[in-house]
Each structure stands twice: as structure tokens, then as C-alpha cells.
Amino acid sequence: MTEHSSSYAFEARPVGDLGRRIAQRRTELGLTLQATAAEAGMAPGYLQHLEEHPTASPDAATLLRLAGTLHTTVWHLTGGDIDLPPGLGHASRTPRVTQLTEAECRALLSTHGVGRLAMTTASGPVVVPVNYSVIDGTIVLRTAAGTTPGQAIGQMVAFEVDRIDDAFSEGWSVLVRGRARAVTDPEEVGRLAERAYSAPWVGGRRDQWMSIDPTGMTGRRIKV
């Protein structure tokens, strides 16, 4: 972490909820609250306070210790990079690229979240971000008639998910190919509605369910 990036983060107060960012990063690293507090040299109760109170305002030294423990930057913890695309960090001098097995791809894909749907439209190819879930090995999402994702129904499409860690210049990506189909059977719609991970972030009425049955899947991981 450079002196410039640290001072910038302190001047730009949190754009988001600091506590949620700390808790999310802990989860990504598989760290308990107690282990994180011990590594950062603070009481577990204080770390819990930071995670549960949006108005908490730790000092610069505390933020630096937390960023070091969580292998990230103060800028990221305080939401300073919320409007920036991922991947702005410098590439590692000795990156290692490994191909993921299908089992690894499916495991990463099934963590749910936001993916990118690539399809062909009348005006040309497009890529749109969508909230998705994986249910019984199938990618499912909700859309609405007349929307761009809805135009994918009946097409062969590509679906991509990835994760980038700017602090370490590491990451992974999974690419799926398959045919998108509309889900219209009431029983199947009800089953998907009960098991879906989350609703579309864009809000509004999204009552058209769509599924993508993978016919091909590849992935890779970059590590230092």
C-alpha cells in the first residue's frame, strides 16, 4: 500500500457501509471475527462494533491494521473504489495461470451473484450484467418481456462470472455456453422462486424466468 493511496482513503470517507465491507472480506478469506480481531490487534467486541454500526469511524491506524489483516487496501474497505472497474491494480511480475476443472468451475459458479450474459440481438452482439442463481446445476435468472436479457430466449448464449482481487492481482473467471430457454411451467416457476438466491437488483416486475443449461464450461485462475 502506498502512502498516497492511504491518505486518499482517509480523506474520502466511506462511500458504503464499512462494517459490511469488513465482514464480506472476512467471509471471502474464511476468517472468523475472533481470528481477524486477534491478527489486527484489537478486541473482538470492537471489531463486532465496527461491523454492526454503520456510523462507526475508526482511526487511520485501525483501518491500516484491518486492511493488512484482510489482505486488501484501506481505499477498498472504505468504499473509495466503488465507482471504479476492478482490475486497476498492477499485474504481478510472476503470475501463474491454471486451467480450472469442470468441478472447480461449477463450484465457483454456484456461489451465485452477478454474471454477464452475452447474446446476439438485431442490432448486434451485447453483454449485460444479470443477477443469477444456480439451481440443480442450471443457471437461472429473472427478467421481463421486452428487456435485453429476454431477447436471449431460444438462443445459444455465453454466460461469464469472475472475481478479481486488486490487492493481490489475482482472480478467476468461468465461461459457460448453453441455450437459454423460457421457464413457463407453474410448478417449475414456483420451485425456482423458492430456491433462487436473490431478486434482480434493478427492481421492478421481473416475472419471466429463464434458464441456461450448460453445454460447455471452461475457466482459469490467475495467482501470484
pLDDT per residue as tens digits for the range 116-156: 999 998 889 999 999 999 999 899 999 988 889 999 999 99
In angstroms, the Cα distances linking 223 to 23, 96, 128, 166 are: 23, 5, 27, 12
- Residues 3-77: name the CATH superfamily: lambda repressor-like DNA-binding domains (1.10.260.40)
So what's the pLDDT on residue 30?
87
So what's the pLDDT on residue 96?
87
**CA 204 and chain centroid, separation:** 22
Distance CA 10, CA 75 (A): 8
Please write the tens of the pLDDT for every residue from 5-25.
333 333 333 334 888 889 988
So what's the pLDDT on residue 39?
94
Q: Which three cell numbers stand for residue 166?
A: 486488486
Consecutive 10-residue averages of pLDDT for the chain (224 residues): 37 58 88 94 93 87 92 83 67 83 93 90 92 93 89 95 80 95 93 86 86 94 85
Distance CA 63, CA 76 (A): 11
> Domain 96-223, CATH 3.40.50.1100 — does that match?
no
End-to-end CA distance of the chain: 17
Angle between helices 60-69 and 33-40 (to 10 degrees): 120
Burial string for 103-118 (b: 16+ CB within 10 Å, else e) reads: ebbbebbeebeebbbe
So what's the pLDDT on residue 167?
67
So what's the pLDDT on residue 80?
76
For the chain, where do the domains classified as CATH 2.30.110.10 start and end?
96-223
For the chain, where do the domains classified as CATH 1.10.260.40 start and end?
3-77
